[in-house]
Structure 1
Amino acid sequence: MMVTQTCFGFLLLVVTKAQTQIYLGSSCQNTSQEPLSSAYQTNLDKILTWMSSDAATSKGYNHTRIGITTPVYGLYECRGDVIGHFCQFCVSFAAREAPKRCPNRVSAMVWYEYCILRYSNESFFGKILTHPTWHGFGTKNISNMAEVQRGEGFVKSLIRKATKDTNQLYYLGGFNLSSTQKRYGMVHCSRDLSKEGCRQCLEALLAQVHICCVQKIGWFIWSGTCMIRYDDQMFYLLNNQTSSIPASNQETDKQRGYRRSKIVIISISVMGSIVLLFLSVYHFWYRRRVRKDGFRLSSFHKIQTEESWTTDLPIIPLTTILQSTDSFSEACKLGEGGFGTVYKGILANGTQIAVKRLSKFSGQGSEEFNNEVLFIANLQHRNLVRLLACCLDQNENILVYEYLPNKSLDFHLFDDEKRKQFDWKLRLRIINGIARGILYLHEDSRVTVIHRDLKASNVLLDHDMNPKISDFGLARAFEIGQNQANTKRVMGTYFGVLVLEIIYGRKNNGLFMSENGQTLLLHAWRTWGAGKCLEVIDPMLEKSFLGSEVERCIHIGLLCVQEAAKDRPTMSHVVLMLASDTMVLPKPKHPAFSIGIMASEEVYTSKSSKNVSNNDLTISISLPR
């Protein structure tokens, strides 16, 4: 009986300690204090409840939006070494405290030792925040100034490992300062950031350490999106995910805690039983909620194709799709193409989605459908559109993508009014983003992927106007060593043509048709050769462009469309040429098309007929370029 009481006492101590979180700081984001509207308050209550419950089953991070006319954006993030119920305890505590720390404010951020919680009426996902910052430090000063350099080098190594060597956006570990002294550190970024964004955030914090804390042995510094901590005590938690901790450090902790090992083991057993009971109750409640909502992202459907790829992808019931799109109403329609119609949908939790309903008469059968599902689900890159789920109910083939609010590139680029907002800096960023996305498809993904329909309408723009390549339904994968015969037909425009369209603000087949059927491609070739290419670029650019940058991009675009495949640069070379303003570029040879009408033919197919088309291009390559 005494042992049982001790075990429950220990369990109570653990739970109480987890629930009494150590407060680090908060910010109301400079928002004014005024009564919240009832709609906003309702959505705020919903998102706080969602974060508290979602943290129980997630991997320590998630974000969402609830509401349409008065949206609330919310995000929670537990420290990289904190998992399971410790994370949920912290998030639940933060969800209760945030409105108290920022009463009647539309935005709030709160930091605790193990987690951060944030909400706002404006989207902040993926954005770096380095100001304001909060910091703290211990009372002990550094006696040996050599430690300053060693400590800084150690933190820089953690940043490198978190942003380059792993995909975790956090890293922790320690080093031996001397035979008797150890130092420990951790870096952590919010997981909605890119690896590059994480690096920038952490380096910005490290620069501030020299001002606030460099003379102290123990210190930490936080911003809204990243954190660094350094100490002479092991402050992080040991679990099966913290593989970066040196084995010697783990052994030291084991020896340090040996006297308490028996009671800890017994206590964990009791706590495990209670947690198991809690999970059982939660699972029963969750299954009932799933039946009611009809949307189960925890259920997966395995898709396998002839390429022997497999992917686990969430399945959404057709009833949920119909509810989110108002039964595919005209008001929800975003666009229509040869393979079907795309609708905007809003799920019950407020998440916006793009629903692609493939037409039964489009000619895209199970092979093409599996292609699109397979490629997008397995390919992850910041410049590729993200596939969230699919629906196969009642003979429907439906794909659910992330919703990108700024529509497609052609929507802006080929409109005289909208194009005015596209200055040269933005256009250059879009060109670079598309190039990086194609490079990933060609060389960095597990198998080589040819998109086969790259054009302005298949480049979507997110809320920050970053490009994301879409429509992989016509893509085809092949292993390195396979030849072009396996791709049969490559449709769409070259990357080079797309670059020229972005610079000139005109479609390739629609700009100079009155001048002897002259395409944009041929016109760019002739004016570049005459040294007059800058005289005829998009007048909307006015003085926003740098002449050398524009001329270099035109030069690169022309290199990509040379007639001989062996002369065209690979995408890795294209990305290098775009990134360097000193690399000497070769003189482009004649482009593949010298007239305005572009031919289309089946490559390596002797019996195919040759048809005339304004949209198809003939290419003959052995590897993607």
Structure 2
Amino acid sequence: MVLGRGRSQHRQQAIRANNAIKENQKLREELRRTETIVSIYTKHRWWMEEQASRSYEMIRFTEYRPSQIHRVVNDRDAIFLGIGSYGSVLQCKIGEKTVAVKIPNNRDSRKPLPSMREFNQEANKRALKMQVAILKKIRHQNLVTLIGACPERQILIYEFLPNGSLKDHLTESGQRRRFTWKRRVRAASSICSALIFLHNTEPYPIVHGNLKTSNILFSKDNGFARMLIGSDTHKTQLDVSALGIILLQLVTAQEPKDLRKNVLSKLGDIIRFQGKSMEQQHEVLKSIVDPDLKKCQLDDAAEMLFLGLKCSDPNEKHRPDLAADVWPLIEEMKSSASHRQG
């Protein structure tokens, strides 16, 4: 009986010790998360103060009448940029300011709204009104600014960023060669920072919901990546998974379809990978990493690949926390890349 009681006490002590370790881990994670959010919001405050002093246009939102939009999009200097999931995108001038005008699919700014048979007019109006109400208030150094809208024509007006999208930088060979490891890690940091900002807004988190390389644009002045945002009602985990795929694309320069499966089949899990010799690890990485990447430390590439795999894990419970786990790691990579001048 004494022996049994001793075993029971030992088991209880082990359970208490294990619980204490778990609690300590949670506290450390929460501390990292808090430090990250404080850092990101501090940088955001500085940026907002700088923008407010430099350009009132950056913090002002304008509602336009259909007649104003008609003149803008039919100006001879308007340039068709392409078609996205929302609709056509034009580069236009409003006064002296160059803007990007997004016109919904099957819409012409001169024509009246479609009939009920073509499309649920009122539902789309309400959806756009809700979207604009959210997006017009958001200002962040890594988010493309919504500077205006024409609700009657369901047209959105964004600041214009001239340096192309992340997709352009990863798919066009000339741009890809100039898209160094240092710039890729900095892009990853910008995207992650913007997501943390959105996911921690009050009173409710904002979910991007359509995060992909064509929605990551580059500014002219500093080359920072800035997300073209929507607002969605999905869970924030959707954005975490999408970020994971983008991290894999930054390393491989491959299309997203089946990318996770292909990388995982070559890389394996982290335990199996670390069990290989250094030479074997490098051979595996060389078969995955974008060959146009120069001065890329393969160890850093492996770290970003495994981070991308974790973020895009099909089981969302296995995905890391952006603020506590992902951003600190990416910041370490960014610091390392800056020191190497890659």
TM-score, normalised with respect to structure 1: 0.38
Superposition deviation, residue 356 in structure 1? 1.0
Q: Distance in 2 between matches of 1:559 and 1:539?
A: 23
Quick check: 1:465 aligned with 2:204? no
Q: Distance in 2 between matches of 1:507 and 1:374?
A: 34
Counterpart residue number, 1:546: 297
Q: Distance in 2 between matches of 1:563 and 1:166?
A: 32
CA shift in 2, pair 1:315/1:455, >3 Å: same
Counterpart residue number, 1:557: 308
Give the one of 71, 75, 88 matched to 1:341.
88
1:97-496 maps to which residues of 2 (within 5 A)?
A: 164=42, 167=45, 191-192=50-51, 313-327=61-75, 332-348=79-95, 350-359=96-105, 360=107, 365-392=124-151, 395-463=152-220, 464-473=222-231, 475-476=232-233, 494-496=242-244
Q: Secondary structure at the match of 2:141?
A: coil
Counterpart AA for 1:358: P
Superposition deviation, residue 313 in structure 1? 3.9
Residues 144 and 228 in structure 2, CA contact (< 8 A), matched pair in contact too: yes
Larger radius of gyration: 1
Counterpart residue number, 1:523: 262
Q: Distance in 1 between matches of 2:43 and 2:240?
A: 36
Aligned length: 262
Superposition deviation, residue 371 in structure 1? 3.6
Residues 385 and 402 in structure 1, CA contact (< 8 A), matched pair in contact too: yes
Superposition deviation, residue 540 in structure 1? 0.6
Alpha-carbon displacement from aligned partner over 1:293-349 (angstroms, at most 9, x marks no partner) = xxxx9xxxxxxxxxxxxxx9421233332333335x79611121232111111122x
CA shift in 2, pair 1:408/1:445, >3 Å: farther
Give the one of 522, 536, 546 matched to 2:288.
536
Give the CA RMSD over aligned residues.
Answer: 3.4
Counterpart AA for 1:368: A
Q: Distance in 2 between matches of 1:405 and 1:429?
A: 18
Q: Distance in 2 between matches of 1:362 and 1:550?
A: 47
Superposition deviation, residue 396 in structure 1? 0.9
Quick check: 1:569 aligned with 2:320? yes
Which of the pair is proportionally richer in strand? 1
Superposition deviation, residue 362 in structure 1? 7.7
Q: Distance in 1 between matches of 2:43 and 2:254?
A: 42
Residues 452 and 492 in structure 1, CA contact (< 8 A), matched pair in contact too: no
Alpha-carbon displacement from aligned partner over 1:95-114 (angstroms, at most 9, x marks no partner) = xxxxxxxxxxxxxxxxxxxx
Q: Distance in 1 between matches of 2:227 and 2:246?
A: 12
Superposition deviation, residue 167 in structure 1? 4.0
Residues 103 and 156 in structure 2, CA contact (< 8 A), matched pair in contact too: yes
Q: Distance in 1 between matches of 2:94 and 2:313?
A: 47
Higher relative contact order (CA 8 A, sep 6+): 2
Alpha-carbon displacement from aligned partner over 1:55-91 (angstroms, at most 9, x marks no partner) = xxxxxxxxxxxxxxxxxxxxxxxxxxxxxxxxxxxxx
Alpha-carbon displacement from aligned partner over 1:390-410 (angstroms, at most 9, x marks no partner) = 113xx4111111111112211
Counterpart residue number, 1:233: none
Identity %: 23
Q: Distance in 1 between matches of 2:43 and 2:251?
A: 36
CA shift in 2, pair 1:490/1:520, >3 Å: closer
CA shift in 2, pair 1:193/1:533, >3 Å: farther
Which of the pair is proportionally richer in helix? 2
TM-score, normalised with respect to structure 2: 0.67
